[in-house]
Structure 1
Amino acid sequence: MDPIQAALLFAAGVATGAFNAVAGGGSLIAFSALMAAGIPPLTAKLTSTVAVFPGNVASVVGGYRDLPPRGDVRRVLPAALLGGVAGSVLLLVTPNRVFDVIVPFLVLAASAVLGLQERIGEIVRRTALRRRRDHPATLQTLVALGGVYGGYIGAGFGIVLVATLALVQHEPLTRTVALKNLLSAVISFTAVVLYVVFGDIDWRGAGILVPATVLGGYVGARLLRRLPGRLLRRVVVTFGTIFGLVLLWRNLL
């Protein structure tokens, strides 16, 4: 990795942290930047997951006071762990050549989730106003599926978890988001452990991205808050869609 690639990767890391803090979906930027630096797609996916993990932890620390009672957390935590492990293992056993073929569809799927965030948010807000009975089995199943998505794809799975929790549980939105942050961190932690032990991590790239994402999350986000979150999200969705289509076109050649 030459100095120019390293500088561009650091800039992408700052953007990743800032976008994740303001609009979400920044991991698509880190993943794309790693591939642009010449890192193979599967290694880039594993490396980007490791690099953005500190941001997940910071979200939990910042919102721990809003977490629901411990009993509610313990009810869904095993499902998140199981789903995260399943998705991560599935990714690790996927052959590199197979992942190269499917990665454009994963990028496009993540972009679609981000693009639908406003509609999902509207569903969440409407559901939060309704008094519903909790359905533990349904909740645990959906959280586990969200964990599989998070372990395998990653980008946008926080949106998936928020929608899942709000549709099945009756909790204030602040608690829902705080629980989402905790589950996201748990799923990311299982993925990071498995990726580090069994996967191929580009530690040079991770070493550049980690401080950059932290900087972007704590400093860059303050500057980007002056811009509409909707505009920022559209930028990421447009970028992800174009990037996914380019990868798809390359696979077809």
Structure 2
Amino acid sequence: MTFSDPVSFIILAVVGAVAGFLNVLAGGGSALTIPLMIFLGYDATVANGSNRIAIQVEALTAVAAYKKNKHSDFPLSLKLALMTLPGGILGAFYAVKIDDALFTKVLGVVMVLIIFTLMFPKSEVIAHAKNHKWKKWLAWPVMFAVGFYGGFIQAGVGFIIMSALLHLYGMDLIKVNMHKVFIVMVFTVPAVIVFIVTGNVDWFAAVALSVGMVLGTFVAVKVSLKKGEKFVRLILGVSLLIIATKLFLI
């Protein structure tokens, strides 16, 4: 498949735009892009690696978009991202060896668990986050695990980051998304390096997905800031339910 195949490029870009929109507002965009690439004939590992390039571009775009719209807190975002980085580096080394069947089942279980956490009233979640005496100590292992999962599997990590920040720090979902894209931007770097060095990136697919994800990301940031937290929570819950159901039926 080469750049002379405009139809495949357009298909990848369109699905990338949808994935970028979902990733910023909620997560799970990779559950669309990776199966699509496999359907188009890419090896699963190459599909995963090519997707990581697009995820990195998407995260950079989202961080810039939030900054442009005056929604940024780089000191806290950097602190949270650095907490995930060791896990991201470790996970990246295993990223090229993941078993596809195990991956889909684990991801399905994780998403169902996150759906249950979203059912708790926000006031109770925030009160729990503020009063939990182990919060500071839990933050490090939890964020390390988030980084490992992101470096290793990546698909669905947005849901996990949102759940972690919501319950550990009691943030509203607008701030959660703002920090999430910065965290993803940082811990994706080791995985991108590993996939490039091992030759598991198809640049045609990576560029096509990146183009789409950039467009989807800009739209998602504006929508999230305009519609507010209730809309984000709705999109998050629906996305989780659909993707979890899809994974369990595989």
Band the TM-score falls in, shorter-chain normalisation: 0.7 to 0.9
SS in 2 for 1:129: helix
Amino acid of the structure 2 residue aligned with 1:89? F
Distance between the aligned counterparts of 2:11 and 2:177, measured in 1? Answer: 32
Give the deviation of 1:50 after TM superposition: 1.1
Matches of 1:120 and 1:66, distance apart in 2: 26
The equivalent residue for 1:105 is: 102
Query: Counterpart amino acid of 2:103?
Result: L
Residue number in structure 2 paired with 1:155: 155
- Residues of 1 paired with 2:137 and 2:53: CA distance? 31
Which stretch of the first structure deviates more once superposed, 47-56 or 33-42? 47-56
| AA at the equivalent of 2:91 | G
- Provide the residue aligned with 2:138 in structure 1: 138
So what's the TM-score if we normalise by structure 2?
0.77
CA contact (8 A) 2:23 2:158 kept: no
Tell me how far apart the structure 2 counterparts of residues 235 and 85 of structure 1 sit (CA, whole Å): 30
Shift in alpha-carbon separation, 1:218–1:175, aligned structure 2, 3 A: closer
Identify which range, 15-24 or 38-47, moves more after superposition: 15-24
Equivalent residue number for residue 209 of structure 2:
209
1:85 pairs with 2:89 = yes
Secondary structure of the structure 1 residue equivalent to 2:164: helix
Task: Decide whether aligned partners of structure 1 residues 177 and 220 sit closer, same or farther in structure 2, where only a CA change above 3 A counts.
Answer: closer
CA pair 136-67 structure 1, distance change in 2 beyond 3 A = farther
Q: Which runs of 5+ in 2 are unaligned?
A: none
Q: CA deviation at 1:63?
A: 3.8
Distance in 1 separating the partners of 2:238 and 2:172? 26
* Alpha-carbon distance change, 38 to 151 in structure 1, aligned in 2, over 3 angstroms: same
Distance 1:11 1:241, change over 3 A: farther
How many Å separate the matches in 2 of 1:171 and 1:231? 20
Aligned to 1:32: 35
Question: Residues 233 and 79 (structure 1 numbering): CA distance in 2 closer, same or farther, change over 3 Å?
Answer: closer
Q: Point out where structure 1 has 5 or more consecutive residues left out of the alignment.
A: 246-253
CA distance, structure 2, for counterparts of residue 82 and residue 60 of structure 1: 21
Match of 2:17 in 1: 14
The CA distance in 1 between the partners of 2:188 and 2:121, in whole Å, is 23
Superposed CA offset, 1:187-246 (max 9, x none): 1223223322344101111121110122233358989x99x624454444444444xx2x
Secondary structure of the corresponding residue to residue 209 of structure 1: helix
Q: Does 1:57 align with 2:60?
A: yes
Correspondence 1:41 to 2:44 = yes
Q: Is the 8 A contact 1:10 1:208 kept in 2?
A: yes
Q: What is the TM-score of this pair, normalised by structure 1?
A: 0.76
What amino acid sits opposite 2:48 in the alignment?
K
Confirm or deny: 8 A CA contact 1:15 1:213 kept in the other structure: yes
Match in the other structure for 1:184? 184
Provide the aligned C-alpha RMSD in A. 3.3
